[in-house]
Chain A
Amino acid sequence: MSYEPKIISFLCNWCSYTGADLAGSSRFKYAHNVRIIRILCSGRVEPTFVLESFRKGVDGVLICGCHPGDCHYHEGNYKCLRRYELLQKYIQQMGIDEKRLSLKWISASEGKQFAELINDFTETIQMLGPANYQEKLAYV
């Protein structure tokens, strides 16, 4: 049986979640591994959401927000980007492969790009194999 990675994706309500809806209404097929969690803004993503996801056995986390300049809340995506860059450094220190966490911009009209992004990210995680960070992160 082939390895089916577990992926959690946090999508902002206004651009990326709508972009994912558009992928659906356009019937763009993509890998089934991703489980989407809707938040209002990518600025809401707390580092602990990501760390807890890895601790609970997820193999990859994908955060999507509005393109720079398009944030529904003016600049939540910039706040997310700043936090993401720090978080990338942090997870490496924790022994988590940086490729397992990604931040990408998806607009409400980018259904096709969303489907391609999910396929690309799923493939990346598939190549990396199972994460098994449950133990590493048990006491964090």
Chain B
Amino acid sequence: MEGNRIGVYICWCGTNIAKTVDVEKVAEEMKLLDGVVVSKSYHYMCSDPGQEMIVNDIKEHQLKRIVVAACSPRIHELTFRKALENAGLNPYMFQMANIREQVSWVHSDREFATQKAIQLVRGAIHRVRLHEPLEKRSVEVDPATLVVGGGISGITAALTIANAGKKVYLIEKSDKLGGHIANIDLLFPNLQQASHVIQSKIEKIREHPNIEVFLESEIEKIYGFIGNFETNLNHGIDKKLKFGNIVIATGMKPFVPDVVQSYGYGKLPNVITSLEFEKMLMEGSIKTKAGFEPKHIAIIHCVGSRNSKTNDYCSRSCCSTALKYIHQINSALPEANVFDIYADMRSFGKGCEELYTTASKNNVAFLMFDQENELPIIQASKSDKESNLVIEFKEILSGDMIMVPADLVVLMVGMEAQENAKLTSQIFGISVDKNRFYMEKHPKLDPVATTTEGVYVVGACQSPKGVIDCVSQARAASARVLASIAQKTVEIEVTTSTVTEEVCCGCQTCISVCPYKAISFLEDKSVSFVNEVLCKGCGTCTSACPTGAIHSKHFSYKQILSQIIGILSNN
């Protein structure tokens, strides 16, 4: 049993796991299993002290195999494999049990959850006993990068990567670069011309020797894996592109407010969206539909945001944009009254609270409404002399029902995910959240990566955000991409298939099912042979082999069977 000295570690994940699973009980039960030398629970196994605990135990107790029960292996399997390596063990002498995503986050009953966790960890222990050390494999990283989306996020990422001397393919579905920022006048908080920010970047992209732009193009299918992706671009002529990393920057769709009945958008001509107001600002003329300068302008916040009937989330940039409008209205029409009708003033971020302070010194009244229960009602005014619109709502700070006149009403529309976000996520093999925004690998530890290696998400396609955050994310993802290119090679899974020649009957079934043409037939020996550079390890050949001659490394018949047995057994 010398080779079977197993260390078992149960993670609390703060309270994420410990709240629903009796982690100490799980650790205690595992001590009874064959070969288990150490079994502990700890607050955060992925933290530095958690990993050091594993490393120290391996040395102190001569552990040969490790099981960690924590989050999904898609998040931290590599973290712990590295810890094993640091302690001098082969990284494949490790198995993870997923007791967070598969147990504590999806079950509420503590007893059932603990029982399930025990069974999953037991399965992992049974499996790890049969693990074999595997040698690392690496492939070269193609130094080109695919950037999808030509808005501020995609443009920034493309330029950052190209300026480092690396090839970029920039794909944009519309007929021009710039995205939404091309339709914005000034940017908060410094009231800088948006066109100055974007136009110079677009110029640089046009002239850049390392950037190839494909307008009116969309990606339909991606093949390969980190370091070696490829796609066929239907761009007039068929073009095959090869690249090592992908940055997705497909942006957002502005909320269309006609579904909010009480605002009368689409029916009342002087009720417009913030995008339509931007257009007026860019043209330098704030006018009502009839062509008059408005005396009273109302701005309504949170349109399509923070309301259970539309979208629950905050769109993060509308409050500061509204404050920017107050400044712009005041400088263009100093006599006009502004009614800023808000739900909560969320002018967070560097320089944005100051924007609120200076805006409030203008000719503006800030009025608060109940965003969830009592939306303001906009109606055509009955009086001829007053403004053409009247807005009625309960001002919740005073508690009074009030009526506000308006010649022009600006609806601060929020951001939504693109209509085809789900389809796009499937093409790139990434996930979307319940609002169809792309999911990052980890909000704090890895905020621009995804669970698919080599695929990054930046900008408003990941969650609603303003230009400052978009640019930061684009720069962050570029750094990740450049780091991957600088390493020149990337380690890839070593879980390939091999043929036991003595058992192979030469039927060649494996050759017919292999999607990578990785298996050939050795005529002289009458057996199949797997080219492990081409093999991606799907294991389809292994399950098709009638004689059991093919072995899937790390996903062998015996290993998977032992996991089943471990889950179902009582010891």
Residue contact A26 to B433, C-beta cutoff 8 Å:
yes
A-B contact count (CB 8 A): 146
- How many A residues are at the interface, by size bracket? 35 or more
Query: Taking the nearest CB of chain B, how far is it from the CB of A56, in angstroms?
Result: 5
Bound CA–CA A25/B439 (angstroms): 10
Structural contact, A52 and B543, CB atoms closer than 8 A? no
B28 adjacent to chain A (CB < 8 Å): no
Bound-complex Cα distance A18 to B81 (A): 20
Within 8 A of B (CB), among A85-125: 107-109, 111-112, 115
Q: A24-B101, A29-B106, A44-B538 are in contact. Are A52 and B564 (CB under 8 A)?
A: yes
Choose the segment among B236-244, B331-339, B390-398, B555-563 that binds chain A (4+ C-beta atoms closer than 8 Å): B555-563
Residues of B within 8 A of A46 (CB): 542-543, 557
Q: Are B422 and A35 in contact (CB under 8 A)?
A: no
Q: State whether A28 touches B106 (Cβ < 8 A).
A: yes
**Closest beta carbon of chain A to B387's beta carbon, Å:** 46
Q: How far is the CA of A29 from the CA of B103 in the complex (A)?
A: 9
Query: Chain A residues with Cβ under 8 A from B108's Cβ?
Result: 29
Q: Do B543 and A109 have beta carbons less than 8 Å apart?
A: no
| A107 / chain B contacts, CB cutoff of 8 Å | 426
B568: chain A residues at CB < 8 Å are: 6, 56-58
Mark A17-53 against chain B: 1 for CB-CB distance below 8 A, else 0: 1111111111111101001111111011111110011
Q: A21 and B422: CB pair below 8 A?
A: no
Beyond A40-B555, A108-B431, is A32–B116 a contact (Cβ under 8 Å)? yes
Using known A-B contacts A27-B106, A29-B108, A109-B432, determine if residue A40 contacts B495 with beta carbons closer than 8 Å.
yes
Expressed in whole angstroms, the Cα–Cα distance for A27 and B100 within the complex equals 10
Task: Tell whether A79 pairs with B542 under 8 Å between CB atoms, given A25-B101, A32-B116, A37-B563.
Answer: no
Indicate the size class of the contact surface on chain B: 35 or more
Of the candidates B100, B119, B513, B564, the one whose C-beta lies within 8 Å of that of A49 is B564
CA distance A56 to B425 in the complex (A): 38
Assuming A14-B429, A18-B431, is B515 touching A115 (CB within 8 A)? no
Name, among A56, A58, A79, A109, the residue most crowded by chain B CB atoms within 10 Å (CB to CB): A109
Question: When the two chains form their complex, are residues A35 and B116 in contact, meaning their CB atoms are under 8 A apart?
Answer: yes
Inter-chain contacts of B495 with A (CB < 8 A): 40
Q: B119, B451, B516, B552: which contacts A35 (Cβ < 8 A)?
A: B119
8 Å CB contact of A56 from B98, B112, B433, B565: B565
Given A38-B73, A109-B425, CB of A44 within 8 Å of CB of B540: yes
Q: State whether the Cβ of A83 lies closer than 8 Å to any Cβ in chain B.
A: yes
A29–B536 Cα distance when bound, in Å, is 34
Contacts of A57 in B (CB 8 A): 568
Any chain A CB within 8 A of the CB of B85? no
Known: A20-B101, A35-B116. A79 touches B564 (CB 8 A): no
B431-457 interface bits toward A, Cβ cutoff 8 Å, 1 = contact, 0 = none: 111100001000000000001100000
The answer to whether A23 touches B538, judged by C-beta atoms less than 8 angstroms apart, is: no
Judging by beta carbons under 8 Å apart, are A41 and B557 in contact? Answer: no
Q: Check A21 against B560 for contact (C-beta < 8 Å).
A: no
Instruction: Tell me, yes or no, whether B120 is within 8 Å of chain A by CB.
Output: yes
Min CB gap A9→B, angstroms: 10
Which residues of A sit under 8 angstroms from B72, Cβ to Cβ? 17, 21, 24
Offer 16 A-B interface pairs, CB within 8 angstroms, sorted by A.
A8-B567, A27-B105, A30-B107, A32-B103, A37-B567, A39-B555, A44-B540, A44-B555, A46-B542, A47-B543, A49-B561, A49-B564, A52-B561, A79-B540, A108-B429, A109-B425
Name A's B-contacting residues (CB within 8 A). 6, 8, 13-15, 17-30, 32, 35-41, 43-49, 52-53, 56-58, 67, 70, 72-76, 79, 83, 107-109, 111-112, 115
**Chain B residues proximal to chain A, CB less than 8 Å:** 72-74, 98, 100-103, 105-109, 112-113, 116, 119-120, 123, 422, 425-426, 429-434, 439, 451-452, 495, 513, 515-516, 536-540, 542-544, 552, 555, 557, 560-561, 563-565, 567-568
13 A-B pairs besides A24-B101, A44-B543, A74-B515 with CB distance below 8 A are A17-B72, A18-B431, A24-B106, A32-B112, A40-B495, A40-B539, A41-B540, A43-B540, A44-B539, A44-B542, A73-B536, A79-B540, A108-B451
